[in-house]
């Protein structure tokens, strides 16, 4: 990964993901290190964020590095200044850029003009750092990943795309229940199906939440209306109303199933009131694990490791 971009989970292999998880577990136990001393990360966001911004800022600080945050209003990507020029200017100042953009093409353009690595901090197509933190969380809760079944209920969105790719790369079965017009994109599905075939697991796409959740080890959902889709909120509330994860649906999952959500959540919409606060919910572990997996990722991408960690 050193020197490369992370725009999609598909930029990683199954081995890379396993290594990141093992390093993140070590880093979680070790706390603060100085392996990125002298390194700087630009955090450039076109959309709001709590978890991603805080976890990237703290990940750099806890590894001895620095960050520069550029807010949506300051960036003016493609408006105040062209994306290629922003990429080339930032590359003269910092060692890596993490960007949250509306369009995935903006990220691709940033990456093609930047001479430093670019990390996807969420685009309309993918949210790879979230999927990595999610696999770390599942690994901790289930003592491994291979052979487990993850059921995603809801929109075939950025979070679903990255999870589907990540699950199939590490040998987890992936099921997704979405309304007909809100399925995952065919191009990402085809890519994931190739990984699933190689890993010997299955991907199931259905319109029925009950089919997806039946016997699953992990039940996962996300908002019905993602950032940038606010104009569609009424239509989406109508179309997704039977895709709510509630006690009745969750009771169809495996006995020790865990419930996951990337947050922020809309309680009363994609999840019933209270269910994210139940013992099955691991949503705050997921949020915490953004920090640990991103520390492992930054160490891997910026190549600053001087203290050999177990697993390296």
Binding residue for ligand CP, selected from 18, 51, 175, 295, defined by CB under 6 A:
51
Q: How far is the CB of 149 from ligand NVA (least distance, A)?
A: 22
Give which of 215, 98, 210 is closest to 150, Cα–Cα: 215
Which of the choices ligand NVA, ligand CP, none does residue 50 contact, using the CB cut-off of 5 to 8 A by kind? ligand CP
Which of the choices ligand CP, ligand NVA, none does residue 309 contact, using the CB cut-off of 5 to 8 A by kind? none
According to the binding rule CB under 6 A, does residue 109 interact with ligand NVA? Answer: no
The phi-psi region of residue 143 (left if phi > 0; otherwise alpha if psi is between -120 and 50; otherwise beta) is: left
Interacting stretch for ligand CP, rule CB under 6 A, among 45-53, 182-190, 195-203, 292-300?
A: 45-53
* Strand order through the sheet with 40-45: 66-70, 40-45, 96-100, 118-120
Q: Are 293 and 285 in contact (CB under 8 A)?
A: no
User: What whole-number distance in Å separates Cα of residue 117 and Cα of residue 107?
Assistant: 11
User: What whole-number distance in Å separates Cα of residue 8 and Cα of residue 104?
Assistant: 10
User: What whole-number distance in Å separates Cα of residue 295 and Cα of residue 67?
Assistant: 13
Return the residues of window 112-141 that contact ligand NVA according to CB under 6 A. 122
User: Contact letters (x/-) for ligand CP, 228-267, by CB under 6 A?
Assistant: ----------------------------------xx----
Q: How far is the CB of 208 from ligand CP (least distance, A)?
A: 27
Q: Which residues bind ligand CP (CB under 6 A)?
A: 49-52, 122, 130, 262-263
């Amino acid at each position: 990964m050193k020197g490369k971009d992370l725009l999609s989970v598909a930029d990683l292999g199954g081995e890379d993901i396993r290594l990141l998880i093992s390093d993140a577990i070590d880093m979680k136990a070790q706390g603060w290190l100085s392996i990125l001393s002298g390194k700087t990360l630009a955090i450039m966001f076109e959309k709001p964020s709590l978890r991603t911004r805080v976890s990237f800022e703290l990940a750099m600080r806890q590894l001895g590095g620095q960050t520069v945050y550029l807010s949506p209003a300051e960036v003016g990507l493609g408006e105040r200044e062209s994306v290629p020029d922003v990429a080339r200017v930032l590359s003269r100042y910092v060692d890596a850029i993490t960007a949250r953009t509306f369009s995935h093409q903006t990220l691709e353009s940033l990456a093609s003009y930047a001479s430093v690595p670019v990390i996807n901090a969420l685009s309309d197509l993918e949210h790879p750092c979230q999927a990595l933190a999610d696999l770390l969380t599942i690994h901790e809760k289930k003592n491994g990943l291979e052979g487990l079944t993850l059921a995603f209920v809801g929109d075939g969105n950025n979070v679903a795309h990255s999870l589907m790719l990540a699950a199939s790369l590490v040998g987890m079965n992936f099921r997704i229940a979405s309304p007909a017009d809100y399925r995952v994109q065919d191009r990402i599905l085809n890519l994931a199906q190739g990984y699933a075939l190689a890993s010997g697991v299955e991907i199931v796409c259905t319109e029925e939440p009950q089919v997806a959740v039946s016997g699953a080890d992990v039940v996962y959902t996300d908002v019905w209306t993602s950032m940038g889709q606010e104009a569609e909120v009424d239509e989406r509330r109508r179309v997704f109303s039977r895709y709510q994860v509630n006690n009745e649906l969750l009771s169809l999952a495996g006995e020790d199933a865990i419930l996951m959500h990337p947050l922020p959540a809309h309680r009363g919409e994609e999840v019933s009131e209270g269910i994210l606060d139940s013992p099955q919910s691991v949503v705050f572990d997921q949020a915490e694990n953004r920090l640990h997996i991103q520390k492992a990722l930054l160490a891997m991408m910026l190549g600053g490791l001087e203290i050999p960690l177990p697993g390296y």
